[in-house]
Amino acid sequence: NEKVSMNPVEQSIKTKLVEALSPLHLEIRNESHMHNVPANSETHFKVIVVSDKFAEPSYKMPIKRHRLINNILKEEIATDGPVHALSIVAKTSKQWSASPLIPSSPSCRGGDGSLPSK
């Protein structure tokens, strides 16, 4: 009695981030609907990760945090992978309680024609 997942990419992202970062807060937003792709796509995501892994000195700089997350999700975001764009918000629990506002992702502007459109 196997149920095929409706959102396999999102599930995979969640599993990998939880395993690697033990986040205190994790939000995965499928933003594909904001872009020029068919309904129910899993091509554009925003991930909001609050983890005290980022409190480690080597993860102080945002770029180091983003590279870490890129590495965790490297299959998903590979050129031939399903994810076309990944927006990342990566904070420590301290930073998160100080400022929990998330900048919203920008509107599409049409895209480059590489994905099937709506």
Partner 1 sequence: MMRGIAFFCVMVAITIQRTSSFVVSPGLTPSINILRKTGKSTKVETLLKMSDEFSQFAQQLPARERIQELVDDHPVLLFMKGSKIFPQCGFSNTATQILQSYNIDFHTVDVLADEAIRSGIKDFSQWPTIPQLYVCGEFVGGSDIMIEMYQNGELGVMIEKAKADMM
Residue 1 CB, shortest distance to partner 1, in Å, is 37
Q: Which residues bind partner 1 (CB under 8 A)?
A: 34, 62-63, 66-67, 70, 74, 77-79, 85-89, 103, 105-112
- Residue with Cβ nearer partner 1 (1 or 79): 79
- Residue with Cβ nearer partner 1 (55 or 78): 78
Compute φ and ψ for 109, nearest 5 degrees: 70, 20
Cα-based angle 78, 114, 66 (whole degrees, multiple of 5) = 35
Residue 4 CB, shortest distance to partner 1, in Å, is 27
How are beta strands 44-50 and 85-91 bridged, if at all? parallel
- Residue with Cβ nearer partner 1 (18 or 108): 108
